[in-house]
Amino acid sequence: MLAITLTTASIWTAIGTLAVAFVTGISLYFGWRSLRQNQREIELSRDEVEEAHRPVIVPVVDDTSYMDLGSEGAGLERRPQLRSNGRLFVPVENIGAGPALNVEAAVSGTSLPEEAAPDPQTAARVAGLRESGFIPLLIELPRWKELWTFTLTIEYDDIAGKGWATRCVFFRETGRYDGMTITAIERGRPLSDMVRPVEPP
């Protein structure tokens, strides 16, 4: 009689243990699914925030509005302007929904004559351009005596630190840009020589 009671108790204990394990397994499964769903929602929210604050910098050609370059000239049309000593001003505008940071612009081109090759050049650099902001970027090209057809590349970061690049070609014959692309990029910009990390004590 005692043996039967012990066997019955053992069976019920085993059943109880299996039931607890089963319930625990189900709880873990639903907890894991809930965690995955929350992670997906967080990623979607992050993407939505980034898209909602994404800058988009484009070059400007506008015959109906004007810009002032100070000592370089006033009342100039908003289009690429090559001034004295190879100073190329390229007006750009941020038509995106957020500020652009660490803006850098340079020109290149395979059809340039040897005497107008864009090297050496000093790329344009500005710390930031606000939403709906406009600025004439200054690219210094000492060899240029006249405005040539060129490829313009503008690189910049959004507030999340993601890099973007706007590329297009300016045709001097038409005075217009063509072939514009905007792509995500890995920038990997080195720090300026003026910026030095603090050495640990």
68: buried, middle or exposed (CB in 10 Å: 19+, 13-18, 0-12)?
exposed
Supply the pLDDT for residue 2.
46
Q: How many CB atoms lie within 10 A of CB 144?
A: 22
Please list, residue by residue across 134-143, b when 16 or more beta carbons sit within 10 angstroms of its beta carbon and e when fewer do. Answer: bbbbbbebee
pTM: 0.72
Q: How far apart are CA 110 and CA 186, in angstroms?
A: 24
CB 99 within 8 A of CB 131: yes
pLDDT digits (tens), the chain, 201 positions: 545 565 676 676 767 677 777 777 777 777 777 777 767 766 665 656 666 789 999 999 998 999 999 888 889 999 999 998 899 999 999 999 999 999 999 999 767 777 777 678 999 999 999 999 999 999 999 989 889 999 999 999 999 889 999 999 999 999 999 999 999 999 876 555 544 555 555
Q: What is the dihedral of CA 106, 131, 183, 171, to 10 degrees?
A: -50
3-state secondary structure of 136: strand
